[in-house]
Amino acid sequence: MLTNAQVREAKPRTIRYEITCDSLPGFILRVLPTGKKVFFARYRDVDGKDHRQRLGLVGPGFGVDEARREAMAILARREAPTSAGEPNPAARTAATAPTSVPKSLTIREFALRFEQEHIDMFLKPETASHFRSSLRRYILPALGDRPLDQVTTLEIQQFVNKLKPKPCAANYARCVLSCLFTKAIKWLPELQGRANPVKEVSRFAERAVERFLSPDEREALERVLHTAERTPPGRQGHIGRDGVWAIRLLSLTGMRRDEIRDLRWEQVNWRQKVLRLPDSKTGKREIVASDDVMALLGKIGQAKGHPQRGLVVCSKNGKKLHSLGATWRRVRLLAGLPDDTRIHDLRHSLASDAIMDGVPLEVVGKMLGHKNYRTTQRYSHIADTALREAVNKTAKTIIRAGQGRAARSRPSKPSRRKSR
């Protein structure tokens, strides 16, 4: 029998390898050279074709017991009979195992289909990763064994309430559950016509964490980036050049982090000075680049030998930058920025600077790639501040002008001469 101890002790090798469970043929652990460990269910269809269905990565909330239950459910439903008409041993083992599969699908069982037919097919990689994390860490450990047709709104509300210390995680888990039930009601005949039990579940209020860089913070950030670009490896203050370029592009364009990490030279139109993103968070997007942005792209291209294809910023081996988190922490510390300053705040800061310079909200929304104007309304308070400053400045100008005219039109007093 495959145990948690075996999983822990399985060490990575130069090539991937698999460990098969003796007591449940078809239940497999795959160990990758990177050290990641993945559970699979292996079965054959009626034509004898071999299939492997991914169950998930080993991690918090998803160990041998959880993976075995999912494998048993899959093998019991999908294993084909042998040529002699006898059930496949794996299917027979799953069917006679002590922990039998409930007749109606559980959340855990349906989650497999939800991952394969929705998460993997339609969600962007980062969103898909967040969905899986929420399922593995929160939803499946708490509600995984509950039949879909028996889950109530009260039950889900109690689950969400337990996550109150983590309001963002609670709200996200609620979102994932709502999506899961929406698909279940749409795909499963036995649930059609049933109301989504998540619909009436209350959300927690989340404190806004947006902040904007002050002029002094902007100056400190630019100083660090300028120094880092010119500091050779091994010297104090050195930061990987592609990471520095990525942060500078973020600061100048207000693009999202993944948009910068995915940006390719083929998407840069030098003549029209635009960046054409085929698949951003809000779909196809065209970014009007400033002269400074085009100059920076030209500088990056020159340093890399003027490539025509490939990623604009990348790792040393030409791969997509894994993350900018470590680079940003280094830059933030060197610039003396507060600990709560996130890399995404560069995007907010660009919007704030544009509004304070008098750019209309509608135009700012286009700069940021907002699909819905209401998204840009989050910056309306800045626009109100800029408007108030403009009104006060105009009023003072008018008053000063009026005072000047009054002074010029006022008759001068005759000077008194002392009598001698």
Examine the domain organization and report whether 46 and 161 are in the same domain. no
The domain of 239 spans 215-344
The pLDDT-based confidence of 221 (bands split at 50, 70, 90) is very high
Q: Please give the pLDDT value at position 95.
A: 46
107-114 and 167-187 are packed helices; what angle lies between their axes, rounded to 10 degrees? 80
Residues 328-339: what's their mean pLDDT? Answer: 92
Residues 196-217: what's their mean pLDDT? Answer: 85
358 has pLDDT over 60? yes
Classify residue 298: in a domain, yes or no. yes
The pLDDT-based confidence of 150 (bands split at 50, 70, 90) is very high
Classify residue 228: in a domain, yes or no. yes
Q: How many domains does the chain have?
A: 3
Examine the domain organization and report whether 95 and 110 are in the same domain. no
Of residues 259 and 386, the one with the higher pLDDT is 259
Q: Please give the pLDDT value at position 390.
A: 61
- Here the tokens at position 280 are 């951003």
Q: Please give the pLDDT value at position 17.
A: 87
Mean pLDDT of the residues in the chain: 83
How far does CA 341 lie from the centroid of its chain?
Answer: 17
Examine the domain organization and report whether 200 and 224 are in the same domain. no
d(CA 350, CA 87): 64
CATH of the domain at 164: 1.10.150.130
Edge-to-edge strands, sheet with 27-31:
17-20, 27-31, 37-44, 50-57
371 has pLDDT over 90? no
- Asked whether the whole model's pTM tops 0.85, one would answer no
Classify residue 62: in a domain, yes or no. yes
Residues 401-419: what's their mean pLDDT? Answer: 60
The pLDDT-based confidence of 367 (bands split at 50, 70, 90) is confident
Q: Please give the pLDDT value at position 80.
A: 46
User: Last residue of a domain, which of 101, 134, 169?
Assistant: 101
207 has pLDDT over 50? yes
102 has pLDDT over 50? no
Residues 292-310: what's their mean pLDDT? Answer: 93
Looking at this protein, which amino acid is placed at residue 371?
K
Q: Please give the pLDDT value at position 117.
A: 84
pLDDT digits 0-9 by tens, 160-179: 999 999 999 999 999 999 99
Q: Please give the pLDDT value at position 84.
A: 45
Question: Of 134-138, 277-281, 397-401, 413-417, which range is least confident?
Answer: 413-417
Examine the domain organization and report whether 221 and 321 are in the same domain. yes
Q: Please give the pLDDT value at position 83.
A: 45
Classify residue 419: in a domain, yes or no. no
Q: Are 70 and 108 in contact (CB under 8 A)?
A: yes
Residues 406-416: what's their mean pLDDT? Answer: 59
420 has pLDDT over 60? no
210 has pLDDT over 70? no
- Here the tokens at position 80 are 């084909």
Examine the domain organization and report whether 304 and 267 are in the same domain. yes
263 has pLDDT over 90? yes
291-303 and 241-253 are packed helices; what angle lies between their axes, rounded to 10 degrees? 170
Classify residue 365: in a domain, yes or no. no
Q: What is the 3-state secondary structure (H, E, C) of the chain?
A: CCCHHHHHHCCCCCCCEEEECCCCCCEEEEECCCCCEEEEEEEECCCCCEEEEEEEECECCECHHHHHHHHHHHHHHHCCCCCCCCCCHHHHHHHHCCCCCCCCCEHHHHHHHHHHHHHHHHCCHHHHHHHHHHHHHHHHHHHCCCEHHHCCHHHHHHHHHHCCCCHHHHHHHHHHHHHHHHHHHHHCHHHCCCCCCCCCCCCCCCCCCCCCCCHHHHHHHHHHHHHHHCCCCCCCCCCCHHHHHHHHHHHHHCCCHHHHHHCEHHHEECCCCEEEEEEECCEEEEEECCHHHHHHHHHHHHHCCCCCCCECCCCCCCCCCCCCHHHHHHHHHHHCCCCCCCCCHHHHHHHHHHHHCCCCHHHHHHHHCCCCHHHHHHHHHHHHHHHHHHHHHHHHHHHHHHHHHHHHHCCCCCCCCCCC
User: Last residue of a domain, which of 207, 233, 255?
Assistant: 207
Examine the domain organization and report whether 120 and 140 are in the same domain. yes
Classify residue 352: in a domain, yes or no. no
